[in-house]
Amino acid sequence: MAFFEKIRNGLRKTRNKIGDMFSAIFSSFREVDEEMLDELEEALILSDMGTEAAQDVIAELRRDVQADRLREPEQVRERLTQILTDLVRGEPEADADERSAMGLKLGTVPSIILVVGVNGVGKTTSIGKLANLLRSEGKRVMLAAGDTFRAAAAEQLSIWAERAGADIVRHEEGSDPASVVYDAIQAAKARGCDVIICDTAGRLHNKSNLMRELEKISRVIDRELPGADRETLLVLDATTGQNALLQAKSFKESVDITGLVLAKLDGTAKGGIVIAIKRELDVPVRFVCVGEGIDDLLPFDPEDFAKALF
Ligand code: GDP
């Protein structure tokens, strides 16, 4: 299935809900007026975009309507889609040319991806899908089962490793996550793996604990893989809306997040959360998940996303 179709299908819920609201507004007005703009603003707020973002979008739209003398609702629809596309896309990244098509900087062999996020958001599933995606590009992938807090976490990750055709290093429940990462690095070097993906503990313990654990893992990586390209991806559950945003803010205070994975986007009618996140945190969305299947992780494409949404 083509990328665009897949994201469209995955976002069916989002699109229908928001699309229905917009269709109703655009078909019930013959000419653009303040009332129409108010209704559009309300629809944007309901999409979980955030009140301020919605107000700013409508302010920009109003300026364009006046400056370009837009009269037809259809012209307004096109202009609104453009504003939202630009908003999701943001500024081009300074190091864009060093990044792969999926937006990650994984030039060194091996390179390393740390994956963080609260239990239940879809972290394990996302790691499995990401491993599969990298495998499909011909990369050798090593998983490190760094969530040693729950035996089930390593168990589940092993199943995904097998599905994706990735190697995995896991230790006993309760063992030191940094030592799992150490062993995974040694194994990856010995086997010539291209990418190591490290799961980390997902319990929402206090910030200083989380920081200490991640710092310890970081020290191991610095020592064993000096100069390696490293990404730290935060997985968020899109169905939790503005709560996902709060979680992201909290993680960002403790960890240097380089990208976001927005999971369960198929399960929400409020895709505007992508815009809220883009606006509030200066962290790019790298992937979206639109289902539980192994192929349901998609590199985030701002333009296709905005088109599929609106
Ligand atoms: P973790 O605790 O963060 O590791 O979360 P899991 O990866 O175990 O996922 C929790 C639940 O969410 C599982 O039942 C997954 O199948 C489901 N899940 C994960 N990602 C998605 C997604 O993109 N769409 C849907 N519909 N379900 C998902």
pLDDT, one tens digit per residue, over 164-217 is 999 999 999 999 999 999 999 999 999 999 999 999 987 756 778 888 899 999
How far, in Å, CA of 265 to CA of 270, rounded? 8
DSSP H helical ranges for 232-301:
242-254, 273-280
Radius of gyration of the chain (CA): 21
Cis peptide bond upstream of 177, omega within 30: no
For residue 129 and ligand 1, the question of a CB distance below 6 A is answered with: no
- What is the whole-number distance in angstroms between the Cα of residue 210 and the centre of ligand 1? 22
**Which of the two residues, 14 and 298, has the higher pLDDT score?**
298
What integer is the mean pLDDT of 244-248?
A: 89
Task: Please report the pLDDT score of residue 309 as a whole number.
Answer: 63
- CA atoms within 13 A of residue 229's CA, in its CB half-sphere: 15
How far, in Å, CA of 268 to CA of 292, rounded? 14
Three-state secondary structure call for residue 97: helix
pLDDT at 114 over 80: yes
Query: pTM for this structure?
Result: 0.89
How far, in Å, CA of 157 to CA of 143, rounded? 8
- Give the pLDDT confidence of 277-293 residue by residue, as tens digits: 888 888 889 999 989 99
For residue 124 and ligand 1, the question of a CB distance below 6 A is answered with: yes
For residue 81 and ligand 1, the question of a CB distance below 6 A is answered with: no
Three-state secondary structure call for residue 21: helix
Please identify, by atom number, the ligand 1 atom nearest to the C-alpha of residue 290. 23
Confidence band, pLDDT 50/70/90 cuts, at residue 21: confident
